[in-house]
Structure 1
């Protein structure tokens, strides 16, 4: 039992050899941008702060939502990323989800990728990053 607890504590230490996770982060707005205010949100730390939604749209021909993502590796080691995104309507109801991955991203390197949903959606959506996992490559 003690070995299991020690193993769990060691794996959650956040070292570069273990995955860094940052689930259920605040909503990231869709491509509809609000007017900037003097109270801009502070940049997030950890893997979640490495990912930004640059576009959030529903394709009119397929009715599939997608989120364009910009990943910037702010860690000191080359890293692999797994990003989970959800698509929600104006009332906050979840309509779909998608994943995106980027491998072997060098420190300070930027990568554009897309999280493509496959659910039929016929309304405007907001994209929310729900989880970011970063592994040392």
Structure 2
């Protein structure tokens, strides 16, 4: 259990230190039970000629997928397995915040799933762990994805 607490503390520390260097979308991110929706709409208009977006302009949320959402059999704490594939054109690090939501849509906490130094095209699997017992129907939703250049 000490390792889980240390990992959560590290994720929170990284999330707070990243601050304004993060990128996130204001669209509703997918959950494990959600159906595929429309793609996020890119930002504002410009008078400059437009070109197709470069690979590094892909939305960070498009790099993330929740692969499982369940309660730990011993602690009854919620957890989500998260798959991250770096679709940007450069090495990047990620912090994925997952919300743990009940059947009424009430959020009962979040858990981070950090991943560092993913090369372009590289895949990583992480776990977002909630804290505290959870009862009822559980849904895990991606709340925020922060992607920033790896050092």
Q: TM-score range by the shorter chain?
A: 0.7 to 0.9
When you count strand as a share of all residues, which structure comes out higher?
Answer: 1
Task: State the partner residue of 1:19.
Answer: 22
Q: CA deviation at 1:26?
A: 3.2
Contact 1:57-1:124 within 8 A present in 2 as well? no
Query: Which secondary structure does the structure 1 equivalent of 2:137 belong to?
Result: coil
Query: Which secondary structure does the structure 2 equivalent of 1:98 belong to?
Result: strand
When you count helix as a share of all residues, which structure comes out higher?
Answer: 2
Q: TM-score w.r.t. structure 1 length?
A: 0.74
Pair 1:59–1:23, CA change in 2 (3 A): farther
Unaligned runs of 5+ in 2: 1-20, 41-57
Q: Quick one: which of 81, 99, 102 aligns to 2:112? A: 99
Higher relative contact order at CA 8 Å, sep ≥6: structure 1 or structure 2?
1
Task: State the partner residue of 1:54.
Answer: 67
Q: TM-score w.r.t. structure 2 length?
A: 0.67
RMSD: 2.0
Identify the range of structure 1 (41-50 vs 92-101) with the bigger mean alpha-carbon deviation.
41-50
Unaligned runs of 5+ in 1: 1-17, 35-39
